[in-house]
Amino acid sequence: MHPSLAALCLALILPVAADDWPRFRGANGDGFSSVPVATHLDASAIQWSVDLPGRGLSSPIIVGDRLFVTCSSGGRQDRLHVRCHSVADGHLLWERQFWATGRTMTHEKICGAVPTPVSDGRRIFALFSSNDCVALDFDGNLLWYRGLGRDYPNASNSLGMSSSLVYAGDTLVALVENDSESFTAGFYPADGLNRWKIERPRKANWTSPTLVPGAGGRTLVAVQSAKGLAALDPSSGATVWSYDEGASTVPSTTVSGGRLYVPSNGLTVLEPGAAGEPPKQVWRAPQLRPGTASPVVVGDQVLVLNDGGILTAGSTVDGHRLWQLRLKGSMTSTPVAAGGHLFCINEEGLVQVVRLGPTAGEVVSEMPLGQTILGTPSIARGSLFVRSDHRLWRIGRPAGSPL
């Protein structure tokens, strides 16, 4: 599929504006923004920041003038928060709290608010590690509530669940894969009832589904697991094609230019066939091995970041290594890209802005936020939106200012 056609297909999936960031890693799920963001960051670039009432690794999502973010709080992390803030100044527009109905145990490093919500432009759907799933309209009116951890009591993970929701073809898709009662399900967005539910490999899985172009302009949902990758029809959950050569259960597949960059045997690039046949392998690069962070594609470079902070750029043509750069600190957050720069945040909350050159990467600015940050930032309105366990920031420059 021609890259521009693929991009068009994905852009049509959600009725949101081009500069919105309606799900994990943005409208296309690739962590890439076509709108540049300020790159010389310091304290003066903080447009606003607000306190949050609970912990979270989920990304903020931005639709129109509203930002939505989830948190969890309480001694057992069993209080679930969905908050709506003004994009303009950060003030709280509304908040809804819920009591978790599923297991809330997680690794101490994470918490109950790990999956990133998704919006279809009219509603917000939020999933938590306890597998509680809530749908609200933009004014905070409750549309439905599901307790997937209560409905399916062995659907849990003692280290926590992290997979983010996707919305495709009028179906909300949740990957609830774990060692025991493992499934992926599609829900009717109007009332949350199961549209389909399929058994999946019984192995813990922290990856997020992503959307891939299918035959005839259809959108498929790619679900990754230790077995590999399966492309599902969002209306039925039927497997359209699969790739069975194994894949990571932590970093997720990135779709860019109609190709799939799969964390599999290092990094494996797949290109789906035009008529739904299994994808062909374009290249495989064992040396491009992502850590916790998912790969990011910028132009003709694919960037992978390992947990120790080594950033590696590979060629999207054949996967050969172009350059490496050692960043500061340990990395959990997936970087985002805009304006030829990569925005990486280490676990100590140090934002590192990397200019992506053809033969080298260069850190052009650093900005300490002073708090542990494990979540992936978001980009909208020419700003970076970052959250920690306690705080939410909008970082950037007013429109028209030098970047």
**Residues 19, 151, 271, 366: which binds other proteins (CB under 8 A)?**
151
Query: If binding is defined by CB under 8 A, does position 178 make contact with other proteins?
Result: yes
Q: How far apart are CA 319 and CA 314, in angstroms?
A: 5
Candidates 62-70, 150-158, 281-289, 371-379: pick the segment binding other proteins (CB under 8 A). Answer: 150-158
Cα–Cα distances in angstroms (integers) from residue 119 to residues 14, 187, 285, 290, in the given order:
8, 14, 34, 28
**Residues 86, 97, 236, 292: which binds other proteins (CB under 8 A)?**
97
Query: Nearest CA to 204 among 145, 156, 241?
Result: 156
DSSP E strands in 92-216: the ranges are: 92-99, 118-119, 123-127, 132-137, 142-147, 166-168, 171-176, 183-187, 194-199, 210-213
**Residues 87, 204, 288, 325: which binds other proteins (CB under 8 A)?**
204
Q: Which residues pair with 183 in a beta bridge?
A: 176, 199
**Residues 90, 121, 150, 198: which binds other proteins (CB under 8 A)?**
150
CB of 259 to other proteins, least distance (A): 33
**Residues 31, 56, 112, 147: which binds other proteins (CB under 8 A)?**
147
Q: Which residues pair with 353 in a beta bridge?
A: 343, 365
CB of 277 to other proteins, least distance (A): 34
Is 288:302 a contact under the CB 8 Å cutoff?
Answer: yes
Query: If binding is defined by CB under 8 A, does position 129 make contact with other proteins?
Result: no
Candidates 46-54, 192-200, 221-229, 370-378: pick the segment binding other proteins (CB under 8 A). Answer: 192-200
Q: What angle do CA 17, 22, 26 make, to 5 degrees?
A: 95
The amino acid that residue 149 corresponds to is: G
Query: If binding is defined by CB under 8 A, does position 74 make contact with other proteins?
Result: yes
Query: Nearest CA to 107 among 250, 227, 311, 291?
Result: 250
Site for other proteins in 327-366 (CB under 8 A): none
**Residues 89, 145, 317, 321: which binds other proteins (CB under 8 A)?**
145
Q: Which is nearer to other proteins, 32 or 98 (CB)?
A: 98
Candidates 95-103, 251-259, 272-280, 382-390: pick the segment binding other proteins (CB under 8 A). Answer: 95-103
Residue 287 CA to its chain's centroid (Å): 23
CB of 75 to other proteins, least distance (A): 5
Q: Residues 104-123: x/- map of binding to other proteins (CB under 8 A)?
A: -x-x----------------
Both tokens assigned to 285: 């690069």
The count of residues interacting with other proteins (CB under 8 A) is 39
